[in-house]
Amino acid sequence: MSIIPACPQCVMENTYQDGDNYICADCGHEWPVVKASRADDNAEPQVKDANGNVLENGDSVALIKDLKVKGSSITLKMGTKIKSIRLVAGDHEVDCKMDSGSFMLKACYLRKV
């Protein structure tokens, strides 16, 4: 007998299997029965800049638009070059240090130099 897991979205246990997916009867969330292989879990996701170029740790990038820093009066100007970026997991994929401080930036506002 197999044990059907609780819904990862609403944490309710009213779930059932339908083919290759589990389905939550309460919220309607569907997720695959078979998890991705361990090799896929350990692989780093590719981070791409605004032009579609793959970014790597240590790359140099430039800003493609002015960015206002939340909670500050600082504005990062378009064309500012940033050296030695570091890729991190999360919503803001790029960690960098500039003259005005350390920032976490989204890759969609950067282009590889």
Q: Which amino acid is at 1?
A: M
Confidence (pLDDT) at 42: 56
Give the pLDDT of residue 69: 92
Domain 1-41 CATH assignment equals 2.20.25.10: yes
Q: Is the pTM of this model over 0.85?
A: no
Position 1 confidence tier, pLDDT thresholds 50, 70, 90: very low
Q: Which CATH architecture has domain 47-112?
A: Roll (2.30)
SS (H, E, C) 22-39: EEECCCCCEEECCCCCHH
Whether 23 shows a pLDDT value over 60: the answer reads: yes
Q: What is the mean pLDDT of residues 4-29?
A: 87
Q: Which ranges in the chain are annotated with CATH 2.20.25.10?
A: 1-41
pLDDT greater than 50 at residue 43: yes
